[in-house]
Copies of this chain bind each other. A is one copy, B any other.
Amino acid sequence: MQRYFLTDQYEAKSEYEVTGESYHHMVRVIRMSKGDHVYLAFANQITIVAEITAVLTDKVLLKEIEKEHQEKELPVHITIASGYPKGDKLEWIIQKGTELGAHDFIGFPAQSSVVKWDDKKRVKKQQRCEKIAQEAAEQSHRQVTPQVTLLATAQEFYQRLAEYDEIVVAYEEAAKAGEKSQLAKVLSQTVPGAKILAIFGPEGGLTPKEIDLLTAQKGVLCGLGPRILRCETAPLYFLSAVSYQLELQ
């Protein structure tokens, strides 16, 4: 069943309206009509099953059938922070990371990042990434669309570290050194609603200087198994492990 994200908060009403792009998609693209059912996901994370009661020239009217029952969101808020990788890797970290339940994404210029974007390029990239997050959220039946924030400087990123309850740093050298217990330790101690920041380097990895900065701000160095994962694969391992630990065990 098709899912639409609305910008307004849910409140119990006899009638709901869908306009704009979602209206266009409903009526023109997939040609829905009276009696068809859709999901309406509201900004306050409530999702309802709604039935179309009327299709007008500029809006669709719907009535609530029932609340969506199943909890689709991870019990913790995971922020995936990636040092800018090459090419379109960031796009697909965001697409796959959204499917796997990330709450939001931050990109930042790490010391090993090769790409250099001016503000114009960065804004364009961010819009592209936001669209990808939106589409992936709809496709994977998320109740929230992850935010994407692409930062201009590493400093802006370090200033945000204090906002999080836990900071996990995926560190290749930790994996090489056989570090095996930190991730399970962190995940087994999380409380529902905790804000967890998971930091991943670009192709070249995080530098010793960056590691020092992050560990100085309570960043925990974690290995993600004995195999060396690419910068776009490591966040997916992490999110899968979070889901497995907190949703399936």
* Contact partners of A240 in chain B: CB under 8 A: 236-238, 240-241, 244
The reply on A103 being an interface residue by CB < 8 A is no
Cα–Cα, bound, A182→B241 (Å): 16
Kindly report which residue of chain B lies nearest to residue A237, judged by CB atoms.
B240
- Rounded to whole Å, the gap between the CB of A76 and the closest CB of chain B is 13
Check if B245 sits within 8 Å of A244, measured CB to CB.
Answer: yes
Q: Which of B99, B181, B227, B238 contacts A233 (CB 8 A)?
A: B99
The reply on A72 being an interface residue by CB < 8 A is yes
Check if B140 sits within 8 Å of A180, measured CB to CB.
Answer: no
- Rounded to whole Å, the gap between the CB of A72 and the closest CB of chain B is 5
* Contact partners of A204 in chain B: CB under 8 A: none
Q: How many residues of A contact B (CB 8 A)?
A: 37
* Contact partners of A225 in chain B: CB under 8 A: 100-101, 243-244, 247-248
Cα–Cα, bound, A161→B183 (Å): 34
Cα–Cα, bound, A241→B183 (Å): 13
Q: State the number of copies, please.
A: 2
The reply on A71 being an interface residue by CB < 8 A is yes
The reply on A114 being an interface residue by CB < 8 A is no
* Contact partners of A241 in chain B: CB under 8 A: 240-241, 243-244, 248
Q: Which of B101, B224, B229, B249 contacts A227 (CB 8 A)?
A: B101
- List 18 additional contacts besides A96-B236, A184-B249; criterion CB under 8 Å: A71-B226, A72-B226, A72-B227, A99-B228, A99-B233, A100-B227, A100-B233, A101-B225, A184-B244, A223-B248, A224-B243, A225-B243, A226-B247, A227-B243, A237-B240, A237-B243, A240-B241, A241-B241
B-contacting residues of A (Cβ < 8 Å)?
A: 70-72, 96, 99-101, 139-142, 176, 178, 180-181, 183-184, 223-230, 233, 236-238, 240-241, 243-245, 247-249
What are 18 sample pairs from A and B whose C-beta atoms fall under 8 A apart? A70-B226, A96-B236, A100-B227, A101-B227, A140-B230, A141-B227, A141-B228, A142-B227, A181-B248, A183-B248, A223-B248, A224-B243, A225-B243, A225-B244, A236-B236, A237-B240, A238-B240, A241-B244
